[in-house]
Amino acid sequence: MSSPTRSGGPGAADLSPTGLERKIGPLQATAINMTQMCGIGPFVTIPAMVATMGGPQAMFGWIIGAIIALADGLVWAELGAALPGAGGTYVYLREAFQYRTGRLMPFLFAWSAVLFIPLIMSTGIIGLVQYLGYLIPGVTDDAGTTPLGKVIGIAVVLVIVLALFRRIGQISKLTTGLFVIMLFAVLAVIVAAFSHFSGAQAFAFTPGAFGSGGAFWGGLGAGLIIAIYDYLGYNTSAYLGGEVRNPGRTLPRSIIYSILGIMSLYFLLQVGVLGSIPLEELKSATSVASSVLEQAWGTVTAKVITVFIVIAAIGSVFAGLLGGSRVPFEAARDKVFLPVFAKLHPRLNLPTAGVLTMGVITAIGSLFTLTDVINAAVTVLVIIQSLAQVAAIVVLRRRQPRLDRPYRQWLYPVPTIIALAGWVYIYVSATWLSIILSVAWIVLGVVAFLIYAAAEKAWPFGPKDIREAFASPHTTSEGAEA
C-alpha cells in the first residue's frame, strides 16, 4: 500500500494517494465535528438524563461526560495528527496491533463500525421525527412514532444519502452552513430558556442525591451513556483524515475546540431547561426544546425554530455518514473488507458503497426505539473503538517512537488513564442485553476474520504483513519486530 500524504505543512498535496481530495480546512473540520455532535441529541435526551439521574443533579452528569470526552479527544488528537488517513480508528488499530495480531483489530473495527456508526446516526432520525411531531399532526402519538413518522424518517435518510453524492469541497461548505443553523437553533433555545429562568428550580437538587446510595450515584452510569452519546462526533474529522488539509495541525484543533464548544453549549442548555420547565413535566417531554420556545415566545416562533432544530438533526446525520463511510473504504483498500467498498465514484471521488450501506442501516435503525439503539451502539463502540484506541496510543509510543507526532498528548498518560477508566465504567453500566449483544458481535467478527485469514493465508494462517505506513522514510522504528 502506498504511504499516505504526510501531515506536513501548507504545501501538502490536494490529492492523497487514496484518490481522496484534501479540501477540508480547520473551520470546516471543526464545523463537521460540532454539527455531528449537536444534532438532535441534547434536544431529545435531556428528559431521559433528568429522569435517569433523579433530578437537576443531571447537570453534573454532563460535566463528567465532558471530562471523559475531552480525555478521549486528546487520544484522538495525537493519533489523528500522527496517522492522518481515511477511516480514523481503522488506521490507528492497523498501525498499532499489526505486530501481534496482524489485521485482526482493524478488521474488527471495520466490521463493527459498519454497524455502530449508522446506528448512532439512526438515533438522529428518531429524534428528528419526534420534533416533526410538534409540527405535523399524525407523525407521533402517545405510544411514540407512528407508521407515517417511520416512513418520513426513511425518506429523510434517502435525502441525506443523495446529498452526500457531491465532491468533498462542496460537502465541507454545506456542512459549514448546517453548523450555522445548528448553532442558531441551540442558542435560540438557550436564550428562550433563560428568558424565564428560575435558579431555585434549576438547582433544586434532590435531597440526599449526592450521599451514599443517592439518586446521583445510582443513575450516574446510565446517565453517562446518554451524556457520552450526546458528545460523540468530536472524532468525525479524524475519519476524514485523508481529506483534511494540514492534518497535523487541523485535526487536534478541530477535536479539542469542538469538545470545549459543545460542552459549554450543553451545560447552558441543560441548566436553562431545568430552570424553565417544571421537573415532572420535563421528565415526560418529547419535544422539550419546542416547549421551552413556546413558553417564551409563543407557538409561531416555536414552530419556526423547531424547523431549524430538525435541519440541525439532518446536518448531524449528514456529517456522521460522511465520516463513517470512509471506514470500510480504507479497510477494503487494505483487502480486509469487501472489494466493492474500495471503489470511488468516478466523478465525485467518494466511497459509493460505504455511503449507500450505512444509509440503509441508518434507515433500518430508525425503526427502533431511541434508548435501545443508544445502548446497542455505545456498547459496541466502547469495546472495539474507545478501549482499543487507549491501548493503541500506548503501543504506538513504544513500537514507533520515531513516528512524526505533530501533536503529543498533553500530560500523557493522565488523559489516557482518565479515558480508560471512563469507558470501562460506561461499558459496565450498560444493560446486560447490550453487553451480551456487543460481545456476541465481536465473537462473530473474530469468526469472520478467521475465515478471511484462512482464505488469504494471512495471520494466524500465514505471516504477518507489517508495514509502518506513516513512518518517515528517513528513520527506522525501534519496535518493528514481530
Least confident of 14-18, 132-136, 178-182, 185-189: 14-18
Q: How confident is the model at residue 220 (pLDDT cuts 50, 70, 90)?
A: very high
Chain segment 224-235, per-residue pLDDT in tens: 999 999 999 999
Cα separation, 299 vs 277, whole angstroms:
16
- CATH for the stretch 26-199+217-456: 1.20.1740.10
Cβ–Cβ < 8 Å for 91, 241: yes
Reduced to 3 states, what is the DSSP secondary structure of residue 407?
Answer: coil
Closest CA to 233 of 344, 174, 169, 321: 321
**pLDDT surpasses 90 at 454:** yes
The SS3 assignment for 382 reads helix
Hey, which residues does 21 pair with through a beta bridge? 15
* DSSP one-letter string for 151-185: HHHHHHHHHHHHHT-S-HHHHHHHHHHHHHHHHHH
Distance of alpha carbon 93 from alpha carbon 274, whole angstroms: 41
Q: What is d(CA 62, CA 440) in angstroms, rounded to the nearest whole number?
A: 30
Could you tell me the three cell numbers for 468? Answer: 509502518
Is the pLDDT at 71 greater than 60, yes or no?
Answer: yes
Given a contact cutoff of 8 angstroms between Cβ atoms, the answer to whether 413 and 394 are in contact is yes
Q: Is 229 helix (H, G, I), strand (E, B) or coil?
A: helix
Cell of 388: 482499543
SS3 content of the chain, % helix, strand, coil (to 5): 70, 0, 30
- At 14, which amino acid appears? D
CB 239 within 8 Å of CB 323: yes
Say whether pLDDT at 419 is over 80.
yes
Amino acid (1-letter code) at residue 201? Q
pLDDT at 383 over 70: yes
SS3 195: coil
Over residues 125-179, the pLDDT tens digits come to 998 998 999 999 889 887 778 899 999 999 999 999 999 998 888 888 888 888 8
Per-residue pLDDT band for 292 (boundaries 50, 70, 90) equals very high
Higher pLDDT, 142 or 443: 443
Supply the angle between the helices 104-135 and 370-381 in degrees, to the nearest 10.
Answer: 160
Residues 6+ apart with CB under 8 A from 447: none
Nearest C-alpha neighbor of 281 from the set 444, 103, 26, 51: 51
**How many CA atoms lie less than 13 Å away from 427 in the CB half-sphere?**
20
**Sign of dihedral through CA atoms 193, 197, 202, 203?**
positive
Span 450-475, average pLDDT: 86
User: For 41-146, where are the alpha helices, taking DSSP H only?
Assistant: 41-53, 58-82, 89-101, 104-135
Coil, helix or strand for 148?
Answer: helix
pLDDT value of residue 256: 96
Question: Residue ranges of the alpha helices (H) in 334-479?
Answer: 352-365, 370-381, 387-399, 414-428, 432-456
Domain boundaries, the chain: 26-199+217-456
| SS3 of residue 345 by DSSP | coil
Q: Rounded CA gap, 334 and 100, in Å?
A: 18
- % of the chain exceeding 70 in pLDDT: 94
Residue from 436, 358, 43 nearest 229 by CA: 43
Q: Residue 271, SS3?
A: helix
What local confidence, expressed as pLDDT, does residue 480 receive?
Answer: 34
Report the chain's mean pLDDT, rounded to a whole number: 89
Q: So what's the pLDDT on residue 253?
A: 96
- Average pLDDT of the segment spanning 16-29: 81
Cβ atoms of 237 and 32 closer than 8 Å: yes
Residue among 69, 38, 86 nearest 337 (CA): 86
SS3 call for 2:
coil
C-alpha cell at 147: 407508521
Grid cell in block for residue 290: 419546542
Q: Is residue 281 over pLDDT 90?
A: no
Q: Is the pLDDT of residue 17 over 90?
A: no
Please write the tens of the pLDDT for every residue from 83-122.
998 899 999 999 999 999 999 999 999 999 998 899 899 9
Phi and psi, residue 141, nearest 5°: -140, -170
pLDDT reported for residue 476: 41
**DSSP-derived secondary structure letter, 291:** H
Burial-class residue 425 by CB neighbours within 10 Å (0-12, 13-18, 19+): middle
Name the band, by pLDDT with cuts 50, 70 and 90, for residue 18.
low
pLDDT, greater one: 21 or 106 = 106
CA distance 444 to 111: 10
- Res. 38 pLDDT band, cuts 50 70 90: confident
Q: Where are the alpha helices (DSSP H) in 334-413?
A: 352-365, 370-381, 387-399
The pLDDT confidence band at residue 297, using thresholds 50, 70 and 90, is very high
314-334 residue pLDDT tens: 999 998 899 899 899 989 998
Percent of the residues in the chain that have a pLDDT greater than 90, as a whole number: 63
